[in-house]
Amino acid sequence: LGDPRGLAGGGAVAVKVPLPPRGEYDGSSPLRPSNSLVRLTGKSIYNQRKDYGQTLLKLQSDFQHHVEHLLTMHLERDLRSAEDCLVRLKGLEEQGRIWGQDVILEVKDQELVLRDVESKEELEAFPLGSVRGCSAGLDNTVLTVSVQEGNPPGTSVLLFQCERLGAETLRSSLEKVLRQRKEEQRNHYGHRYGGEAALRPLPGDSGTGPPSLAPQS
């Protein structure tokens, strides 16, 4: 008798098993797409694009950037403006005397906040109403933010290195967010008190524009 399995010679016999028609094993046919593929309608695409656009606008209305805090200088006799601080900073950098720290600079609620990059610990916070101005300098690498402090009273200038996006980009973005938050606050006061209160300037607002955006002299 021969080997019923066809293995006497040490070889193997390949048996071809016919596959069932496509429609029998996956519930579909060549003319009908599988249920696992969802066909997007024009309306669903439009709604997704609409949500995406709102997300983009929200990102542009937020301010949160990774920068390096270089130094904080208090305006006094020899330092009368943000430009003076930039000159002083350049001299200190040339001497290798700057000790910087990576931080997250963000606008949260009604405050400008500095956070530690890793722990997210709040390092310092300033009310948005205390921000007097910002500028870009040193070949678009350093952002200056001037804030009015109460203890001790006076103006301090925070200096941040921001080579990733450029200081001018961050300056423009920060000023835009400051305007938006101030408008939100104005609307809040208007809706809360109604009537003529909506037209009255907020405390510290001269009505000629946000004082926080006044250029440094």
Phi, psi of 129, rounded to the nearest 5 degrees: -65, -15
On average, the pLDDT of the chain sits at: 78
Do the beta carbons of residue 105 and residue 112 sit within 8 Å?
Answer: yes
pLDDT for residue 127 = 95
pLDDT for residue 14 = 53
Half-sphere exposure of 22 (CA within 13 A, CB side): 7
Residue 22 has pLDDT above 80, yes or no: no
Residue 91 has pLDDT above 70, yes or no: yes
Q: Which of 62-66, 92-96, 159-163, 205-209 has the lowest mean pLDDT?
A: 205-209
CATH class of 73-97+127-213: mainly beta
Strands, DSSP E only, in 75-213?
Answer: 101-108, 111-116, 122-127, 131-137, 142-150, 153-161
pLDDT digits (tens, 9 = 90+) for 178-202: 998 888 877 776 655 555 444 444 4
pLDDT digits (tens, 9 = 90+) for 69-78: 999 999 999 9
